[in-house]
Amino acid sequence: MDPSTAGSSSAPHPGPPDDAAIRCVGVTKRFGDVVALDRLDLTVPRGAVVGFLGPNGAGKTTTMRILLDLARPDRGEVAVLGVAPQGRPELRRRIGYLPGEIRLEERATVAEILESWVRLRGVEVDHRHVDDLCERLQLDRSRHAHTLSSGNRRKVGLVGAFMSRPELLVLDEPTSGVDPLVQSAFLDLVRETTSAGATVFLSSHVLSEVQRVADDVVVIRGGTVVATGSVDEFRRRARQPFTVWFRDDPPLDELTAVTGMGELHVHGRHVDGEIEGGPNELIAVLARHPVEHLLLPEPDLEEAFLRLYDAADAADAADEARDVEGAT
């Protein structure tokens, strides 16, 4: 995935299928009058962890269902692990899938549910590996499904996705409703899985989770990819907050002149602000003045993501205003 496209409104053209675990070219999907996907182009390299971000209704779940052949595109090309997924049950055995909504046989135990999934999918599993997954995710296999909380249902789905050591994991909101210890165990599982050569494609509203584990990010809006790039590229685009306490009066003229500097808030010798594009120039200014204390927290993916959507909403509003003006 080309980092130079971070924040761009155009996605990179998908590469050859042997270079990609997932490849979508011009994929369109409608549900009646609703356009769920609009000429979607998407490439996920083999062996990578790619975060698939977007608000509710952006097309994330529809994309994942098409990859699993649970839905069919109206037009466009799709390749998963080098082949088209339509009508290929053998491909499904190579994929671990966690849907956004998990349906369980309510009268069955967790152990019975996992065993039924093994039979249904026709996969082979190492039972010691399944034992390890249940222990790490703190999942009691003796419990019946109707007694499980939403978080424990998620754990069942996670064990089901990981238990056959698949080549590709497609995970829709994998840690929704689980506690922080399980989230940490999940991230460890993702790292171990990719170290063994697998690919992970995950959708999550927990952006800190994506930031910690993903190599690249794809942002989708209105069924179209609006930005791609590495996590580091997105974070560099984020505004970085800072707080500095000066020993003397703050050098406001120099601070204001720093490239990418936002609005400053001055409280005596204490200055708060935000800077875009990296802190090197700011630090150079501070080095010329006596500073008592500096807070410069690392920018995060969530701020960059929200800013990207704010910019897109502003652009849409401007387009609508121009349309109205042209009509009048």
At 225-271, the pLDDT tens digits run 988 888 877 777 767 889 999 999 999 999 999 998 999 999 999 99
Q: Is the pLDDT of residue 220 over 80?
A: yes
CB atoms within 10 A of CB 63: 30
Per the model's pLDDT, the better-predicted residue between 7 and 164 turns out to be: 164
Residue 166 and residue 100: Cα distance in Å, rounded? 19
Positions of CATH 3.40.50.300 in the chain? 3-230
Return the CATH number of 239-295, one of 3.30.70, 1.10.10, 2.40.170, 2.30.30: 3.30.70
pLDDT at 5: 44
pLDDT at 41: 96
Return the CATH number of 3-230, one of 3.40.50.300, 3.40.1080.10, 3.30.360.10, 3.50.50.60: 3.40.50.300
What does DSSP assign to residue 188? Answer: H
Residue 322 and residue 328: Cα distance in Å, rounded? 10
**Helix or strand (DSSP H, E) at 309:** helix 301-327
At 126-161, the pLDDT tens digits run 999 999 999 999 999 999 999 999 999 999 999 999
Q: Is the pLDDT of residue 103 over 70?
A: yes
Residue range 9-37: average pLDDT?
A: 76
pLDDT at 57: 86
Positions of CATH 3.30.70 in the chain? 239-295
Length of the chain: 328
pLDDT at 3: 38
